[in-house]
Amino acid sequence: MSVQVIQSNPQPMNTLKPYIAGIAVVFIWSGWITLSRFGVHTQLQPSDITMLRYWTAFILVAPAVFRYPWRRYSLFQYLVIGLGVGFPYTMLSFYGLKVINAAHAGVLVNGMLPVMGAVMAWLVFHQKIALHRYGAIGLIFLSNLVMTGNFSVSGSQLTGMFLLLTAALCYTFHMTGIRLWKINWQDVLVIVPVVNVLIFTPLWFVFPSGIAEAKYHDMAVQAVYQGGIVNVIALMCVAYAIRHLGTIPVALFMSFVPVTTAVLAWIVLKENLSPWEITGIVGCSLGLLWYAREPGKVKQRGRGKNTEEEKVLAQGK
């Protein structure tokens, strides 16, 4: 009598890990926006928080810095990966958060990532977008307009929105670079703090600083969360998820940050949400869910082959 040997399939667990990493990033990034909004309204200036962030991360990964094979990538690749989520991203975000509340910032920075990620995937990877996703992109854009309230904004708010959208573009370059050059999370942990410590430290003396008047408690909180939790744990999770899932799926995870940020801002910062903001958040969330819906997989009858769209989608994952 023959015995059938059933082997366990490790694939489900391998697939689950990147999704766990994506979920972790959602909560960490929501806390980052809320804490940054709080931090820029203390004595600390955006340049101070940025300095604390990257020097803390540099100290944490210092043992790996001196053993890292720095000839592995080109200078251009180091700059794209390091600066995409480096001081240009943080400085733009922090100055934007001075005039834009946390919930709105979550929509502008993270809610637009799927849109920018889709455009970048089309330009760099020639990945096509399903028709219904164009409608989702339009809904997300309109939701962002609705959140401004009566479609009117002040000059400072308009500037803040521009800064936050530019920050989202920087982050899109970072994610695209990770996928394009197949960079591991171990590389990201070393590259980001080293690049930013070397470049931003001299620039810190140029920007306004309030670190001499800041409370030690505020500095410690920002250093631990920004430098340790965000710049080490979150970046590790993002790079791992991108490597296994792709750019657009990770951007979709990040796009759920506005909802969790709005709740945190309401609880921690006591930022009451206006009806316009609630409507905008709901509309953006619906647009993101619509965008995330996979197009129907239609196979050609009698041929048993995937359609061209399926092949493109498969390559993008």
pLDDT digits (tens, 9 = 90+) for 283-303: 877 877 787 676 664 344 444
C-alpha R_g of the chain: 21
Identify the band that residue 49 occupies on the pLDDT scale cut at 50, 70 and 90: very high
Q: For residue 308, what pLDDT is reported?
A: 45
Identify the band that residue 67 occupies on the pLDDT scale cut at 50, 70 and 90: very high
CA 110/CA 95 separation, integer angstroms: 16
Range of the domain at 163: 23-294+305-315
CA 288/CA 252 separation, integer angstroms: 7
Identify the band that residue 112 occupies on the pLDDT scale cut at 50, 70 and 90: confident
| Within-domain flag for 143 | yes
Q: For residue 246, what pLDDT is reported?
A: 80
Residue 162, pLDDT above cutoff 60: yes
CA 172/CA 162 separation, integer angstroms: 15
| CB contact at 8 A, 108 and 165 | yes
Q: For residue 145, what pLDDT is reported?
A: 67
Identify the band that residue 13 occupies on the pLDDT scale cut at 50, 70 and 90: low
| The dihedral formed by the CA atoms of 271, 273, 278 and 281, expressed in degrees to the nearest 10 | -20
Q: For residue 262, what pLDDT is reported?
A: 74
Q: How many domains in the chain?
A: 1
Lowest mean pLDDT across 8-17, 30-39, 119-128, 308-317? 308-317
CA 103/CA 11 separation, integer angstroms: 37
For residues 250 and 104, the model is more confident at: 250
Q: For residue 285, what pLDDT is reported?
A: 75
- Return the H-helix or E-strand segment holding 140: helix 131-147
Burial class of residue 41 in the structure, from the number of CB atoms within 10 Å of its CB (0-12 exposed, 13-18 middle, 19+ buried):
exposed
CA 67/CA 311 separation, integer angstroms: 40
| Within-domain flag for 39 | yes
**Contact residues for 124 (Cβ-Cβ < 8 A; gap 6+):** 176, 180
| Within-domain flag for 27 | yes
Q: For residue 299, what pLDDT is reported?
A: 44
Q: Which two tokens mark 177?
A: 């670079």
Residue 156, pLDDT above cutoff 70: yes
Which of 138-152, 176-190, 266-280 has the highest mean predicted lDDT (pLDDT)? 176-190
Lowest mean pLDDT across 12-16, 207-211, 281-285? 12-16
Q: For residue 204, what pLDDT is reported?
A: 96
**Contact residues for 94 (Cβ-Cβ < 8 A; gap 6+):** 36, 39, 40, 46, 49, 50
Identify the band that residue 53 occupies on the pLDDT scale cut at 50, 70 and 90: very high
| Within-domain flag for 156 | yes
**Contact residues for 278 (Cβ-Cβ < 8 A; gap 6+):** none
Residue 229's nearest CA partner among 55, 51, 25 is 25
Q: For residue 269, what pLDDT is reported?
A: 73
Residue 12, pLDDT above cutoff 70: no
CA 137/CA 116 separation, integer angstroms: 10
Q: Which whole number is the average pLDDT over 178-195?
A: 92
* In the chain, % of residues over pLDDT 70: 84
For residues 265 and 46, the model is more confident at: 46
- Return the H-helix or E-strand segment holding 190: helix 185-204
| Within-domain flag for 6 | no
Q: For residue 306, what pLDDT is reported?
A: 46
Mean pLDDT, the chain, rounded, equals 81
CA 142/CA 208 separation, integer angstroms: 36
Q: For residue 57, what pLDDT is reported?
A: 95
| Within-domain flag for 3 | no
Q: Which whole number is the average pLDDT over 69-86?
A: 94
